[in-house]
Amino acid sequence: METWQINLSLIPSIAVILTSANRMALGLTDEINVRLLSNVEQYAEILPLKIKQLKRLSISILLMYLSLGLLVLNALLVGCEIIPIDAEKTLIFIAIIIFFIAIYFKIQFSWNAYFIRQKQFKKFLSKNIS
């Protein structure tokens, strides 16, 4: 009976990470829609990179939700004693693998974000210094 409680204790941690990722996606969407699209000529090189970043982040969020859903389903099924302990471990393992894939996309996002920002700042400075 205690194993399903452990699974539920993971949910707040994942929810915090998901909230952060969702805020990042909203901020990036806002940046694309408001700042970059208002000056397409100057940021024509940056826009496709930012859109690709938004795709990476969206995939990561989707995978995190899927992982979270599996953990909740697992806790429910184990709590109601519908599935055996072996199946519980399998569901948790799958959820963790999915979450690690999501983290991979977030790492890719973060790595690329640095270089994209550098390009963007150079463009911004060249426009404002000229």
3-state secondary structure of 44: coil
Residues in the chain: 130
Average pLDDT over residues 11-32: 85
Residue 17 host element (H or E): helix 2-30
Q: What is the pLDDT of residues 87-129, one digit of tens each?
A: 788 888 898 899 999 999 999 999 999 999 898 888 777 777 7
Q: What is the pTM of this model?
A: 0.79
Q: pLDDT band at residue 7, thresholds of 50, 70 and 90?
A: low
116 DSSP 8-state letter: H
Count of Cβ atoms closer than 10 Å to residue 107 Cβ: 12
Give the per-residue pLDDT at 1.
45
Give the per-residue pLDDT at 37.
80
Cα separations in angstroms, 1 against 22, 59, 126: 33, 34, 63
Q: Which amino acid is at 69?
A: G
